[in-house]
């Protein structure tokens, strides 16, 4: 289920955090804490955005805009409830959704990015990853269509956990850090997602045991 951190290697930003030092023609000096935040979270945020958008170029644009916003508001963001991680995750998701609304045409792979199909690309990847992760439990499936429907219907937080863990390969502790929530909450979302999937498929997926 989990992949190594260096599996993100192809998903890199074409610009570095230093490129934000001259924003809108004003003098700006990057805070050390934001520089560290960028290096810790920009890559998984980019991978998540690319998975949902099905377009890595668009994902780079979304993440760059996210960090422009963070840079201009960093002092206030540090005071937000839940910390900057939770704030940045919410802001990322809003920008992904906004990009989908403003760019309803097909992506490079021909899939629609219309709001109604916002999860299409990500669900395809989640189904494939879930089948690989739970091969034994899902061996009775005659078709992945039911699994597709079950994953597509997951609540937002459960869906995000499935994407970050099963598709992108991050362990629960890292997912918690990326989303700005507790690892126990991540595990609870994963258990609930598996339970919902099992109920829709009429299968017993067994215990949700993850070795960190």
pLDDT tens digits in sequence order for the chain, 212 residues long: 444 444 444 444 444 445 555 454 556 677 899 999 999 999 999 999 999 888 889 999 999 999 989 998 999 999 998 999 999 999 999 999 888 888 765 544 444 444 444 557 788 888 878 877 776 667 666 667 878 888 888 999 999 999 999 999 999 999 999 999 999 999 999 999 989 988 888 877 666 656 44
In this prediction, residue 139 carries a pLDDT of 67
In this prediction, residue 1 carries a pLDDT of 43
Coarse DSSP helix, strand, coil percentages of the chain, rounded to the nearest 5 percent: 65, 5, 35
Phi-psi region of 66 (alpha: psi -120 to 50; beta: other; left: phi over 0): alpha
Long-range contacts of 92-95 (CB under 8 A, 24+ apart): 92/45, 92/48, 92/49, 92/62, 92/63, 92/66, 95/49, 95/62, 95/65, 95/66
Running DSSP on this structure, what letter comes out for residue 23?
A: E
- DSSP secondary structure string for all residues of 98-122: HHHHH--SB-TTS-B--GGGTTHHH
In this prediction, residue 27 carries a pLDDT of 60
> What's the rounded Cα separation, in Å, for the pair 135 and 141?
10
> What's the rounded Cα separation, in Å, for the pair 100 and 163?
18
């Amino acid at each position: 289920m989990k992949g190594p951190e260096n599996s993100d290697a192809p998903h890199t930003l074409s610009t570095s955090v230093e490129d934000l030092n001259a924003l809108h023609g004003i003098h700006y000096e990057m805070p050390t804490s934001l520089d560290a935040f960028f290096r810790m979270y920009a890559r998984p945020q980019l991978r998540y955005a690319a998975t949902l958008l099905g377009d890595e170029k668009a994902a780079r644009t979304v993440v760059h805009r996210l960090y422009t916003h963070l840079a201009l508001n960093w002092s206030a963001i540090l005071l937000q409830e839940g910390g900057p991680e939770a704030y940045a995750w919410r802001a990322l998701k809003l920008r992904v959704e906004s990009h989908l609304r403003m760019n309803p045409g097909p992506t490079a792979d021909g899939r629609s990015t219309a709001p109604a199909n916002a999860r299409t690309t990500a669900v395809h990847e989640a189904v494939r990853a879930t089948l690989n992760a739970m091969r034994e439990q899902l061996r009775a499936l005659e078709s992945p269509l039911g699994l597709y429907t079950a994953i597509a219907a997951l609540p937002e937080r459960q869906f995000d956990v499935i994407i970050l863990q099963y598709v992108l390969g991050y362990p629960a502790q890292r997912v918690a850090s990326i989303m700005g929530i507790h690892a126990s909450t991540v595990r609870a979302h994963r258990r609930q997602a598996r339970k919902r999937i099992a109920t829709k498929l009429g299968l017993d997926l067994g215990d949700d045991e993850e070795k960190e």
